[in-house]
Amino acid sequence: MRITVRVAAVQAEPTWLRLSEGVERVVELIGAAAGEGARLIAFPETFLPGYPWWRWVEANQWNVEYSTRCRENSMVRDGAEMRAITDAARDNGIHVVLGFGERQDRRIYMSQAVIDDSGELLTVRRKAGLNSVERKVFASGTPNLPAVHHTPIGKYGALSGQENQRPLLTRALRADEEQIHIAAWPGSAHGEVAGPDSMTTVSRMYALEVGAFVLAPCVVVGESAWEGTGSYPRPVAGPTGRARIYGPDGEEVVDALEEGEEGLLYADLEIGAQAVDGQQCESGRGTRDRKDRVATRRGSRRLAAGWQAGPDRWALPMSLGTYPGGIAAC
């Protein structure tokens, strides 16, 4: 049986290093997406409290101050802030994939939370493979394989940043016949690091390799990211990146928002049964939400692999959580 699932990818600027305001923003976006009929909303990498682009500023004293603020404004997985977000998912009947800084004691991790439409926290993964700058702020998680979540809206999974191009992780998700994938990105604010073009390329190649729809939410990096830096030199500003939604053939199923524009990118994905020849197929149609207008276009026609109930055989269970996969950390 084929079903149509509306999804939303976030393209927005975080409330940098202000956790309470950030949680309010997340709840607001969840409500906005659900109000447009979305069943799944995907947030960028480390949307709370914001990706540490300030680490590229060559000022040790300033970096120590902001590293402390980053830790203080990161969430714990069982705290009041997470409960506010899970309550919003439950109240709006929507699945949520959220990138956030997870605080545990004096360490913080780059984590992704997966919350179902009943408000249950299914998994929290901690990113293991950090780049040289991320390691200055975050601790590395345990390198467990990611989970594919078997839900009534299909089978979906999520990875952060450069994880989306690591064969061990992508093949694990492919083996579980992932249908919808969230490739979360932090945007780009520095001329010497891989920017929007690489994010687009990796997301498209993931869709082609795995044969899944790919939601690629992305952060907008604006002037507010540098508040408090004073006269310290800032990274070379460049394009911030654009959220995208790809079909399994690597084609965009909906036009992207403008560069630097804040909003939600919507698409209606048709999830169906496995094709006779074993190839994954799908058909997609997408719409985008803007403050002044809505544009639509039709994507290419194929069928996605069918949904099957059952436990995830890739997540490594831990003691927390009631979901068959437990709460996996990576």
CATH of domain 3-301: 3.60.110.10
Kind and range of the H or E run holding 281: none
Q: How confident is the model at residue 302, as a pLDDT?
A: 31
CA-wise closest residue to 118 among 39, 230, 37, 214 = 39
Q: How confident is the model at residue 122, as a pLDDT?
A: 97
Per-residue model confidence as pLDDT tens digits over 9-58: 999 999 999 999 999 999 999 999 999 999 999 999 999 999 988 876 66
pLDDT at 279 over 70: no
- For 273, which DSSP code? P
pLDDT at 314 over 50: no
Measure Cα distances from 242 to 9, 135, 142, 187, 261 in Å. 10, 25, 30, 8, 8
Residue type, 291: K
| Structural contact between residues 143 and 109, judged by C-beta atoms closer than 8 angstroms | no
| Structural contact between residues 196 and 220, judged by C-beta atoms closer than 8 angstroms | no
List, in order, residues 6 or more apart from 197 with CB less than 8 Å away.
none
pLDDT at 155 over 70: yes
Q: Which residue has the higher pLDDT, 62 or 122?
A: 122
Residue 275: pLDDT band (50, 70, 90) is very low
| Structural contact between residues 254 and 296, judged by C-beta atoms closer than 8 angstroms | yes
Place of tokens 């082609």: 208
Q: How confident is the model at residue 115, as a pLDDT?
A: 98
Residue 92: pLDDT band (50, 70, 90) is very high
Q: How confident is the model at residue 61, as a pLDDT?
A: 61
Average pLDDT over residues 235-264: 88
Q: What is the pTM of this model?
A: 0.82
Least confident of 75-89, 205-219, 229-243, 291-305: 291-305
Partnered with residue 150 across adjacent β-strands are 155
Q: How confident is the model at residue 24, as a pLDDT?
A: 98
Cα-Cα end-to-end distance for the chain: 34
Spatial distance between the Cα atoms of 177 and 247, rounded to a whole number of angstroms: 15
DSSP string, 175-236: HTT--EEEEEB-----TTS--HHHHHHHHHHHHHHHTSEEEE-EE---GGGGTT-TTSPPPP
Per-residue model confidence as pLDDT tens digits over 183-232: 999 987 765 555 567 899 999 999 999 999 999 999 998 877 777 655 55
Chain-wide mean pLDDT for the chain? 81
Residue 238: pLDDT band (50, 70, 90) is low
Spatial distance between the Cα atoms of 31 and 25, rounded to a whole number of angstroms: 10
Spatial distance between the Cα atoms of 102 and 48, rounded to a whole number of angstroms: 9
Place of tokens 């989306």: 164
Q: Which residue has the higher pLDDT, 60 or 45?
A: 45
Q: Which residue has the higher pLDDT, 128 or 324?
A: 128
